[in-house]
Chains A and B, each alone.
Chain A
Amino acid sequence: MTQAASPPPRVGLFVTCLVDLFRPSVGFAAVKLMEDAGCVVDAPAAQTCCGQPAYNSGDREDTRDIAKSTIEAFEDFDYVVAPSGSCAGMLKKHYPGLFHGDAVWEPRAQAFSEKVHELISFLTDVLGVTQVPATASGKATYHDSCSGLRELGIHGQPRQLIASVKGLKLAEMADADVCCGFGGTFCVKYGEISNAIVEKKAANIAASGADMLLAGDLGCLMNMAGKLKRQGSGIEVRHVAEVLAGLTDQPPIGGK
């Protein structure tokens, strides 16, 4: 008998509350991309939210409770992957600090955080994916969501995979790395400022000449799509995973 090949990596999908509630197709695109790359994927039912709304509101105690149940729900997986740089950043960069000095939970959170990845960088940096078989048409522009870019260093990975989509051209916008103004609860608490920021973003998107806007975070995408649609723009807005997985049957975010 020959030695069995190493078992496929078991990935727990942290689907994120926004994808779960607003855009499940992003979750299925994530599953498809990871399954195509040889992973076994499951989405444990005990997950809800990464805790950022509480964490960024200064409510550490509730954040810790949520973090504990998230860690428990995902501890058995080889990897924990989220289709969001913001939520992955929370899980990876902020969970351990929540339990600073806690003899039991700090090491547990540390071990957990080491397994956490954002979807696209997981595909490229961990699984070694360099291209996808998807096809599309037209010109896409890519927005770097802040947490993914600055907490997790995601910049080239999505662009590399977008470049491999047959028929799709990447048209960079000015200030692709500047915040879209979403900022979680910020966009509601300081709606006017948020609006001023997303107006600049929408102008840059329009000026890029792209007919499709892609990004890796649904919060930012909903914000930008909401602004573009309010302005009557025809630009299609999608999560980058949808295009990379070739799952674009659903109408774009915020409709056509």
Chain B
Amino acid sequence: MQITSPTFKANAHAALHDAHLQRALGNVRSGFIGKRAKAAKALPEFEQLRDNAKAIKDHVLGHLDIYLEAYEKKVEDAGGKVHWAESAAEARGIILDICRMNNARTVTKGKSMLTEEIELNDFLEASGIQPVETDLGEYIIQLRGEHPSHIIAPAIHLNKDQVEQDFRRVHTEFPTDRDLTEPQQLLSEARQVLRQKYFDADIGITGANFLIAETGTSIIVTNEGNGDLTQTLPRVHIVIASIEKVVPTLDDAAQILRLLARSATGQDMSVYTTLSTGPKRVSDPDGPDEYHVILLDNGRSAMLGTEFQDALRCIRCGACINHCPVYHSVGGHAYGWVYPGPIGAVLTPSLIGVDKAGHLPNASTFCGRCEAVCPMRIPLPKMMRHWREKEFERGLNPAVARYGLKFWLWFAKRPRLYRLTTYLAMPVMGLFGGRKRRFRFLPLAGGWVRHRDLPAPEGRTFMQQWRDRDTLKQDAHA
């Protein structure tokens, strides 16, 4: 996908003027937030689980090499094959090799952000292999040639009438006069279309929410059952997961699972939590003959040991996105790459470079709601600030902002001069505020007054008046 993060501001401008999008974004605010709050409140151990989940992942990151090796061994014991990929290109190459070896013509896919990250669909198509997204949201955006705008609700930027248009355009096998006004009708049609695709596919590709070192198991979590069919019906199952997805034991996964669905959709558990270990056994009448796991680094190991390591605890629940006022305003596509919202603002500069993604960590009010709801207690604002530090060090932030700041700092570091200047300036500015006590226009403050009035200062500064009061007091005592 084309990276559009550098034009974040223009993207945001377009998003704010997109009436369809703005209507759809209302669904983020009205749905997820209340459900998460209710689910968290209903589990008294929720905060304790967050602490423990953080501890588990921190432990993993300190022992990552060992758990990856242990996991690999167990996958092989179970008859599976593990492939290691340093980069997106390498991962794509491995997948293509497996496809070629199996003469694959179509692959079904469970929902996987990692395959978005490595741009797998475009690559497969260019290689003559048809990828079919099976998650309803992913399927819809694949029809539209779009990318997910949210990591757990990929089509959240769309309204049902837009989906109806796409289905009418693509599903030409159905009668044209059919009724598709209700979401249930759209779902039924997609179910019917995709059902056959599962059977037709040669290979099923899924991501993984967890890899278990104890057993060599990969776990996916879905509500639709699409990932589960994807990995059960085709002859070959490929799992692609980034290296930080490994946890030591099933018990560790159980701890984090209690947080995942609650944080994401407000469910106690998602409908399907599916554990896969190796290919089907002699006694299995169904399941794949081959089981491959691709362990992808693609920049993760470079985050280890840096101020961005904590982001590797992320379980992709989307809670930070759901609670972000900036995301609520502009949606996911404005962020310009795979991961939107607060986690995107931290991950994207790590994975594609801060020179391209510099806007993202800046486009935050630091309201802290993301960190407050992150089940893994990732200090997202702190890490965005770290990115701002990197940008500042490298002089990547805009010159106007830099010089404006320097001007302010020059005074802020010289209290006497600061006092003198403000004693003189504020009463004058106060006077200009007029009877209304506010400005509609003000030179150099365009960013503010374009959208709102600027309340006028009262007049003399506090410190000025405080000095007077002190003097009066001393006079009275004299």
Contact = CB atoms under 8 A, between A and B. Distances in A.
B386 to A, nearest CB: 8
A21 B365 contact: no
A66 interface: yes
Contacts of B438: 225-226, 229, 254-255
B297 to A, nearest CB: 28
Interface stretch (A121-129, A194-202, A207-215): A194-202
Nearest to B400: A189
A22 B456 CA distance: 7
B451 interface: yes
Contacts of A73: 415
Interface string A50-67: 010111111110100110
A56 B462 contact: no
A183 B367 contact: yes
Contacts of B362: 186, 189-190
Given A54-B405, A190-B9, A48 B412 contact: yes
B461 interface: yes
A179 B409 contact: no
B364 to A, nearest CB: 7
A109 interface: no
Interface in B54-74: none
Contacts of B477: none
A21 B453 contact: no
Interface in A22-61: 22-25, 27-28, 43, 45-49, 51, 53-60
B46 interface: no
Contact of B411 (A19, A48, A198, A223): A48
A223 B463 contact: no
A176 interface: no
A179 B323 CA distance: 10
Contacts of A76: none
Interface in B420-466: 422, 426, 433, 435-438, 440, 445, 447-463, 465-466
B329 interface: yes
Contacts, number: 213
B326 interface: yes
Interface stretch (B88-96, B158-166, B177-185, B391-399): B391-399
Given A191-B450, A197-B329, A229-B438, A24 B367 contact: no
A227 interface: yes
A43 B367 contact: no
B13 interface: yes
Interface residues of B, number: 68
B325 interface: yes
A24 B458 contact: yes
Interface in B346-376: 362-369, 371-372
B174 interface: no
B388 interface: yes
Nearest to A27: B462
B450 A151 contact: no
State which size class the interface on A falls in.
35 or more
Contact of A25 (B385, B418, B452, B458): B458
A135 interface: no
Nearest to A226: B452
Contacts of B388: 56-58
A171 interface: no
Say what secondary structure dominates the interface of chain B: helix
B462 A254 contact: no
Nearest to A147: B368
B415 A226 contact: no
B369 A21 contact: no
Contacts of B12: 190, 192-193
A53 B364 contact: no
A163 interface: no
B35 interface: no
Contact of B415 (A48, A62, A182, A222): A48
Contacts of B16: 192-193, 196
A11 B9 CA distance: 44
B169 interface: no
Contacts of A182: 365
A150 B367 contact: yes
B454 to A, nearest CB: 6
Given A48-B415, A226-B448, A53 B408 contact: yes
A57 B397 contact: yes
A62 B409 contact: yes
Contact of A192 (B369, B426, B451): B451
A178 B372 CA distance: 12
Given A43-B462, A58-B389, A183 B364 contact: yes
B36 to A, nearest CB: 14
B388 to A, nearest CB: 3
B419 interface: yes
Contact of A183 (B365, B371, B391): B365
Given A58-B389, A193-B12, A193-B16, A43 B397 contact: no
Instruction: Tell me which of B385, B409, B419 has the highest count of chain A C-beta atoms within 10 A of its own C-beta.
Output: B409
B478 interface: no
Please name the 7 residue pairs, one residue from A and one from B, whose CB atoms are nearest each other, closest first. Answer: A183-B365, A255-B437, A226-B452, A58-B392, A58-B388, A188-B447, A179-B367
7 contacts: A24-B462, A48-B412, A57-B397, A178-B325, A185-B401, A226-B452, A250-B458
Given A73-B415, A186-B362, 18 more contacts: A17-B412, A45-B415, A45-B419, A57-B402, A58-B392, A59-B392, A150-B372, A184-B366, A186-B366, A187-B448, A190-B12, A194-B365, A197-B325, A197-B326, A225-B453, A227-B451, A229-B438, A253-B437
